[in-house]
């Protein structure tokens, strides 16, 4: 299981379950919100930079 680890202002740590259908990303080109599916998540993890990854939507991917 993957989870978010959130530290609140009073210093307590909370774990929030992370499900694959709850991961979203904003396309850096058109700003549309899109769901990150398992396949996409896998390629992000394989290619490296989880935090700095820009995930383009299908439409913008086509344009390039």
Binding residues vs Zn ion (CB under 5 A) = 27, 29-30, 57, 60
d(CA 18, CA 4): 6
Residue 18 or residue 37: which is nearer to Zn ion going by CB? 37
End-to-end CA distance of the chain: 35
CB of 42 to Zn ion, least distance (A): 20
Residue 15 or residue 30: which is nearer to Zn ion going by CB? 30
* Phi, psi values for residue 17, rounded to 5°: -55, 140
Residue 40 or residue 60: which is nearer to Zn ion going by CB? 60
């Amino acid at each position: 299981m993957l989870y978010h680890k959130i530290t609140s202002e009073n210093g307590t740590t909370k774990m929030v379950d992370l499900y694959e259908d709850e991961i979203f990303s904003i396309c850096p080109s058109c700003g549309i919100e899109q769901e990150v599916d398992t396949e996409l998540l896998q390629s992000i993890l394989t290619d490296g930079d989880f935090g700095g990854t820009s995930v383009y939507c299908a439409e913008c991917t086509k344009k390039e």
